[in-house]
Amino acid sequence: MQALKVAMLGCGVVGTEVAARIQNRNEALAERIGAPLELSAIVVRDTSKQRPGIDPSLLTTDAETAIAGADIVIELMGGIEPAKTLIRSALDHGSSVVTANKALLAANYGELMSAADTAGVRLEHEAAVAGAIPIIRPVGDSLAGDRIDRIMGIVNGTTNYILDQMDSEGWGFDEALRTAQELGFAEADPTADVGGHDAAAKAAILASLAFHAPVTIDDVHVEGIAGITPDMVATARDQGFVIKLLAVCERVSDSSAGAGLSARVYPALLGRSHPLATVRGAFNAVFIEAEAAGSLMFYGQGAGGEPTASAVLGDIVSVARRKVLGGRGQYERPFHKDSTILPISAITTRYHITLDVVDRPGVLAAVSEVFSDEGASIELMRQTVGETDDQGTQHAKLVLATHSNTDAILRGTVERLGGLSVVRAVKSVIRVEGQAQ
Ligand code: NAP
């Protein structure tokens, strides 16, 4: 069988590992595909850069020519442009595309999947969510006959490493972030990770795929972890919780705004017995609840050149096999549901609230009155004696766990608590997922 020509756009952390495996494992790959792969061009910005293990004659800055001569295009350059234009061009040429570009897909998933469908080719993207962990194919194919109700994932290794070190070593946020940067888990500019935006891109992709509706990153409610303090982590531990940055995608039938979809990313308390609570270090995991399958968990390395290359190679084998067999590309119109994206205010949740209060009679009654006025209720209240301040006033730490209510009602309750004269400060507010042990 004639070799299949593969053009690679980008040769950085992931691309270098993908190119090495196409070259070094070609025989094994050919057995699985039914034809050998031939790396025909590698598009980069700077062709003079030293790239050990890469054949310099393949390097080019001419992406259009590289795409025109290819059977399969692998996009590993990242960013929105020129990646988007080049992927569109490859699809229009009738080439299937493999990409790891979560930022691009989170903004343009519907458009790009429809373009692949129209062209009768595939746009594979297993590496765009949770690196090496097979999650796109299980959600899109294996569970296609089931109904996915909820996905909850730890999909950003940097933030999981930071929160895990704060929990297990008692480190502060800055120390944990600095160490993550030194170990290569965090970028020099950690904003996308720490701010939750990287996880939000993955949530948008997972929600789109799981619920057959176009969900973009703009639909995802995002809160990052920069405000998490050692005190919050210690309080969580005392109560049988761990704090994790969670991406939650779910179908909601009974929100205060009616039925619809919710996609959100925020740090939350998770009961320590929940499977996701055991995910340590920079690892990722995705927990799925489906109607017939029940609970499923997928766990592994969510980033890094080699793990991500594994997912990219899997996609390459898949599209190459299809090319050899002459099969059609996309198998379904990706988005046939026109669903409402629900605002966070309408979502039912639970809060853990920590207040710094004046330690005197009547405080608990004042706090309880606010809850009752707002239509919220307290599941648990725990008070510990705090410090005496410079004016000789005795303080207490009051930890409140709420029953489930809408985010809007709980937010309103916290605002009113902050205005009470007996409340010196609202020290922390964090949502809860899962039960304490
Ligand atoms: P990277 O190390 O920054 O490499 C990017 C590559 O693309 C470089 O070779 C660069 O060329 C080339 N490139 C960038 N802009 C270009 C342009 N305008 N024209 C031509 N070439 C261009 O990126 P990466 O970490 O490998 O990530 C690649 C993709 O994989 C991204 O979408 C990322 O989100 C995704 N991903 C990465 C990981 C990971 O662990 N790194 C995990 C999952 C997904 P030069 O070499 O000449 O600069």
What is the pLDDT at residue 327? 78
Let me know: does 4 contact 36? Beta carbons within 8 Å: yes
Stretch 410-427: mean pLDDT: 97
> CB under 8 Å to 424, separation ≥6 — which residues?
355, 356, 357, 358, 395
Query: Is 335 inside a domain boundary?
Result: no
- Indicate whether 143 and 207 sit together in one domain: yes
Q: How far apart are CA 329 and CA 95, in angstroms?
A: 10
Residue 268 and residue 223 share a domain: yes
Determine the pLDDT at residue 144: 93
For residue 188, which phi and psi values (nearest 5 degrees)? -60, -40
**Known catalytic residue: 244?**
no
- Answer yes or no: is 43 within a domain: yes
Contact 22 CB / ligand 1 (< 6 Å): no
Give residue 386's pLDDT.
Answer: 82
CATH of the domain at 72: 3.40.50.720
Which of 96, 102, 139, 137 is closest to 116 using CA atoms? 96
pLDDT in tens, 123-179: 999 999 999 999 999 999 999 999 999 999 999 999 999 999 999 999 999 999 999
CATH number at residue 404: 3.30.70.260
Instruction: Give the range of the structural domain holding residue 62, as residue numbers without chain letter.
Output: 4-133+305-325
Q: Give the mean pLDDT of the chain.
A: 94
84, 202, 323, 427: which one is catalytic?
202
Please state the atom number of ligand 1 nearest to the C-alpha of residue 104. Answer: 32
| Pocket lining: 44 vs ligand 1, CB cutoff 6 Å | yes
Same domain? 9 vs 63: yes
Residues 153 and 296 grouped into a single domain:
yes
- Kindly report, residue by residue over 189-229, the tens digit of the pLDDT: 999 999 999 999 999 999 999 999 989 999 999 999 999 99
Q: What domain count does the chain have? A: 3
Contact 378, 410 (CB under 8 A): no
Report the percent of the chain where pLDDT is more than 90: 90
Residue 389's pLDDT band (boundaries 50, 70, 90)? confident
Question: Would you say 133 and 286 are in contact if contact means Cβ atoms under 8 Å apart?
Answer: yes
The protein residue with its alpha carbon nearest to ligand 1, atom 14, reads 77
Residues 44, 125 share a domain? yes
The answer to whether residues 38 and 143 belong to one domain is no
Instruction: Let me know whether 281 and 193 are in one domain.
Output: yes
Among 5-9, 240-244, 332-336, where is mean pLDDT lowest? Answer: 332-336
Together in a domain, 15 and 160:
no
CATH code of residue 292 = 3.30.360.10
Last residue of a domain, one of 264, 285, 301: 301
Selection from 242, 429, 265 nearest residue 344 by Cα: 265
Residues 164 and 295 in one domain: yes
In the predicted structure, residue 436 carries a pLDDT above the cut 80: no
Q: Whose CA is nearest to atom 3 of ligand 1?
A: 12
pLDDT tens per residue, range 289-320? 999 999 999 999 999 999 999 999 999 999 99
365 falls within a domain: yes
The whole model's pTM is what?
Answer: 0.95
DSSP secondary structure, 339-369, as one string: PPBPPGGGSEE-EEEEEEEE-STTHHHHHHH
Whether 82 lines ligand 1, by a CB cut-off of 6 Å, is: yes
pLDDT-derived band at 335, boundaries 50, 70, 90: low
Question: Do 286 and 146 lie in a common domain?
Answer: yes
